[in-house]
Amino acid sequence: MSDPPPGAFDGHAHVYPLRVYYEDTDAAGIVYYANYLRFAERARTEMMRSLGLNHSGMMAEEGVVFAVRHCTADFLAPARLDDWLEVVTRITGLRGASLGMEQWVRRDGADLVRMSLKLACMTLAGRPSRIPATLRAHLEEFRNRNDP
């Protein structure tokens, strides 16, 4: 496939672009609040892929998944149909078995939603697991490159 992967590191953080489609909106004419969490997960997936990590590979080779344990979201302003948004993703903490992240959804440079998340590394059976060394190395490298 010749298309570039969506999203890229912009020198400060990973930036993932997306369009707002009908499926994302609700009868109030704005993006439904839970859907920002879907946008954020797409962005985390592409951030990981930009480091050479994908979910299927992590499951098959390392036997782990990352699960969101804690999430805080501030909804500052609504996005609307046809908007072109960016989700900005940074790693703010890296511990033995968990990961801290900050993510923003912005439009034309203005923040619409600000999120803070804690993700735990889990075995496929659902038990907490240390982050495998190869994963950790990639995540550390990203954290060191992104803004603190």
Catalytic residues: 26
When the beta carbons of 125 and 133 are compared against a second copy, the nearer one is 125
Residues 6+ apart with CB under 8 A from 71: 37, 115, 116, 117, 118
When the beta carbons of 45 and 129 are compared against a second copy, the nearer one is 45
Which CB sits closer to a second copy, 70 or 130? 70
Residues that bind a second copy (CB under 8 A): 1, 3, 5-6, 17, 19, 21-23, 25-30, 32-35, 37-38, 41-42, 45-46, 54-57, 65, 67-75, 78, 80-82, 84, 86, 126
